[in-house]
Amino acid sequence: MKRFLHCAAAVLAVFFLMCGMAGADMLQQFAGQKGKIDIAGGTAHIPVMNEAAKRIMTANPDIRITVEGGGTGVGVQKAGEGLVDIGNTGRALSGDEVAKYGLVSFPFAVDGVTVVLNPANSVSALTSAQVQDIFAGKITNWKDVGGADAAITLYTRDEASGTREVFWGKLLKKGAIADKANVVASNGAMKVAVSQDAQGIGYMSIGFVDAAVKAPLLDGAEPSQDNAKSGAYKIARMLYMNTKGEPQGLTKLFIDYVTGPECTEIISKAGYIPLR
């Protein structure tokens, strides 16, 4: 038994050493490179992009990487018009977008989109039908879904948001969103808004959920990334990087890095499920 344990430990040690070497090799590909990579678009991507950029620029200070949000629509438009090297989207590109701009997509993670409530809200579970009626303005008081006797405050994203498109398409079934809904600009802004409004309800990437908000069960399923990957939780999408034509030079190296073995750790720490 002792011999077996020693062998197992040795195998694990070699495995982790090889993983570390693979990560180091991925950063070594940036040695001797100079230049700049500009990235914009989906806000769910930002934690992964920022950490990857930080590691690359630490390894090689001659490389500058800028990361901005703006939403999926901004990612499509800026990449398509050549204003950035990588445009991030929280959904697959449409056929029209590919035809118009000649964009090429690189998925790297699975992400769920969840309803979020203020932690003080006593509601812990909702059905799809209830969420649809809440966002359509048909249900306007929390008491109608088992909560307190208080008016519901709606928060949504603008139409350029990939998070909004997935939520609207997969959960709301492209139904109406009431005009009274407050529009926020990003996943981070959604978290701040709902965390500060005891009667608020919104939606966001599961990767952004922390103690500031709570994600209720939906149709009995926990909105977790593992459930999103397995299909137990249905409101899920992939996160994409997109380039105008096939990527070249530094842009290609960056995409190879994010879709490579080292970034599985970065993606997981950001709260997403790596595709690799």
Q: Which pLDDT band, with edges at 50, 70 and 90, does 6 fall under? A: very low
Whether the predicted model's global pTM rises above the 0.75 cut? yes
CA distances from 22 to 32, 206, 262 (A): 19, 29, 7
8-17, 208-217, 221-230: least confidently modelled range = 8-17
What pLDDT was estimated at residue 2? 38
CA–CA separation, 104 vs 240, rounded Å? 10
Name the token pair of 127. Answer: 């059905």
Residue-averaged pLDDT of the chain: 91
CA–CA separation, 189 vs 116, rounded Å? 12
Domain with CATH 3.40.190.10 in the chain: 2-110+239-274, 112-236
What pLDDT was estimated at residue 24? 53
What pLDDT was estimated at residue 108? 97
Contacts 24+ apart (CB under 8 A), 172-176: 172/131, 172/132, 172/135, 172/136, 173/132, 175/132, 175/135, 175/136, 176/135, 176/136, 176/137
CA–CA separation, 18 vs 27, rounded Å? 14
Question: Could you write out the DSSP letters of every residue in 81-110?
Answer: TTSSSEEEESSPPPHHHHHHH-EEEEEEEE
Read off the pLDDT of each residue in 98-121 and give the average, rounded to a whole number. 97
Read off the pLDDT of each residue in 239-253 and give the average, rounded to a whole number. 98
Strands 273-274 and 103-117: antiparallel
The pLDDT tens digits of the residues spanning 145-186 come to 999 999 999 999 999 899 999 999 999 999 999 999 999 999
Residues, the chain: 276
Closest by Cα among 131, 132, 150, 129 to 141: 150
Q: Which pLDDT band, with edges at 50, 70 and 90, does 25 fall under? A: confident
Contacts 24+ apart (CB under 8 A), 142-150: 142/199, 146/122, 147/121, 147/122, 147/123, 148/121, 148/122, 150/198, 150/199
Name the token pair of 251. Answer: 């842009």
User: What CATH number matches the domain at 112-236, 3.40.50.720, 3.40.190.10, 3.40.50.300, 3.30.499.10?
Assistant: 3.40.190.10
Question: Is a pLDDT exceeding 50 seen at residue 11?
Answer: no
Residue 15 CB neighbour total at 10 angstroms: 10
Q: Which pLDDT band, with edges at 50, 70 and 90, does 143 fall under? A: very high
What pLDDT was estimated at residue 26? 83
User: What CATH number matches the domain at 2-110+239-274, 3.40.50.300, 3.40.50.150, 3.40.800.10, 3.40.190.10?
Assistant: 3.40.190.10
Say if CB 91 and CB 236 are below 8 A apart.
no
What pLDDT was estimated at residue 276? 76
